[in-house]
Amino acid sequence: MAVKISASITELIGNTPLLRLSRYAQQQEIQADLIAKLELFNPNHSVKDRIALSMIEAAERNGTIKPGDTLVETTSGNTGIGLAAIAAAKGYKFRVYINDFVSIERSQIIQAYGAEVVPFSTIDGFKAFYDASNGDFVAATKWLAEQVTAAEPEVHFLLQLDNPANPAVHERTTGPEIWRDSGGELDIFIAAVGTGGTLSGTGRYLKQQHPGLQVIAVEPGIGSQPSELRPEPLEITGVHAFSNQTPERIPANLDHRVYDEVIAVETWQAYAAARQLALSEGVLVGDSSGAVLWAAQQVAARPENHGKRIVVLLADGGSSYLTTQLFAHQIPAESLKLASAVQTSRKIA
């Protein structure tokens, strides 16, 4: 009998399953073959386990870190969880700078791994800068990296937004897994954009195999983005706007040559889809996954897409959102609607 015992949590990352969302598709009257890549089956229930391992091992290969060093990142939660777990398994210290609005479970999980959690509101001068930048995550990361590196040269900021190890791991693992498990039969791939690494790396690999594949990026709608009139809207966790943004507000890891279309989704729409998936398939996912599902419904409704296979990447599980309103079924998702997006889809020339 063959013995199969893993030596480290790092060996358990990836090879997540594909699931046909038959009941969800039926209930939503989707006339396409809707397949989900369930990243919640990673050890820490998120696609970010992949980049956490990739970035740390790249730094090890480059000789920029050694056991006992302190690793640092800023994140909306899942990258921090993945990094905290892998840092613990490899013997590194870890510190995360995290937005105050993320669910309390995320901070608690990171701290459970022995990591230090620093909320944005506790950082001297940061709130004023963040507010002035209108909640620009890219600018916030650069500001923190400069401040931390200048004050503590012994720490290593991993910089997920422009770290090439981020999209590289998806081109090396996520894309090939989808291609293998789907038998190379898919017509459309949809993923949300946070750092841009998942969409860019996965989409790049899949298009190399199937040049006719359509890749669709999902971003938050106008009503779910910070603005002067609404500086703190209910946002989709970890998903950032990149359409019609100045170059400095776009993550370096987002390769605009990979995607063919952008669909904007409002937070209430993401909540509605995530709730319906839980009720129809028994699968809990986060609000970014809900956004991807909502986008898939719009794409599947187009007559030219009837009968096509749509693969959606569902980035994380929903268990770390239980203290939010995501699964508060007694509160109609529509009641969370703050504003309507003026434009919901933009074709890429």
Opening angle at CA 83, ends 148 and 171, nearest 5? 110
Report residue 66's pLDDT band, with 50, 70 and 90 as the boundaries.
Answer: confident
pTM: 0.93
Average pLDDT over residues 56-60: 97
Lowest mean pLDDT, pick from 21-35, 228-242, 253-267: 228-242
Share of residues in the chain with pLDDT > 70 (%) = 95
- 194 by Cβ neighbours in 10 Å (0-12 / 13-18 / 19+) ranks as buried
Q: How far is 221 from 157, CA to CA, in rounded Å?
A: 30
Sequence-distant (6+) residues with CB within 8 A of 84 are 94, 96, 109, 110, 113, 114, 115
Q: How far is 232 from 314, CA to CA, in rounded Å?
A: 25
> pLDDT tens digits for 267-295?
999 999 999 999 999 999 999 999 999 99
Considering only residues 259 and 154, tell me which one the structure prediction assigns the higher pLDDT: 259
Sequence-distant (6+) residues with CB within 8 A of 11 are none
61-67 own/partner pairs: CB under 8 Å, 24+ apart: 64/156, 65/92, 65/156, 67/91, 67/92
**Could you tell me where the DSSP H helices lie in 282-335?**
287-300
Average pLDDT over residues 207-226: 95
Question: Dihedral (C-alpha) 78, 12, 156, 66: value to the nearest 10 degrees?
Answer: 160
Report residue 116's pLDDT band, with 50, 70 and 90 as the boundaries.
Answer: very high
Considering only residues 287 and 119, tell me which one the structure prediction assigns the higher pLDDT: 287
Lowest mean pLDDT, pick from 102-106, 225-229, 237-241, 332-336: 225-229
Average pLDDT over residues 189-210: 97
Q: Is the fold of 9-43+167-347 the same as that of 48-157?
A: yes
- pLDDT reading at 171 higher than 90: yes
Q: How far is 113 from 111, CA to CA, in rounded Å?
A: 5
- Say which CATH topology domain 9-43+167-347 has: Rossmann fold (3.40.50)
Share of residues in the chain with pLDDT > 90 (%) = 73
Position 135 scores a pLDDT of: 67
Position 314 scores a pLDDT of: 98
- pLDDT reading at 103 higher than 80: yes
Report how far apart, in Å, the C-alpha atoms of 312 and of each of 33, 56, 250, 295, 332 are: 11, 27, 23, 9, 25
Place of tokens 């187009």: 302
Helix axes of 104-112 and 78-90: crossing angle, nearest 10 degrees: 10
> pLDDT tens digits for 135-151?
677 787 888 888 776 67
- pLDDT reading at 243 higher than 60: yes
> pLDDT tens digits for 177-187?
999 999 999 99
* Domain ranges within the chain, ordered by starting residue: 9-43+167-347, 48-157
Average pLDDT of the chain is 91
Average pLDDT over residues 143-162: 83
Active-site residues, by number, are 48, 288
Average pLDDT over residues 72-83: 91
CATH 3.40.50.300 fits 48-157, yes or no: no
Position 134 scores a pLDDT of: 67
Q: Which two tokens stand for residue 143?
A: 């500001």
Is the distance from CB of 81 to CB of 46 less than 8 angstroms? yes
Is the distance from CB of 105 to CB of 321 less than 8 angstroms? yes
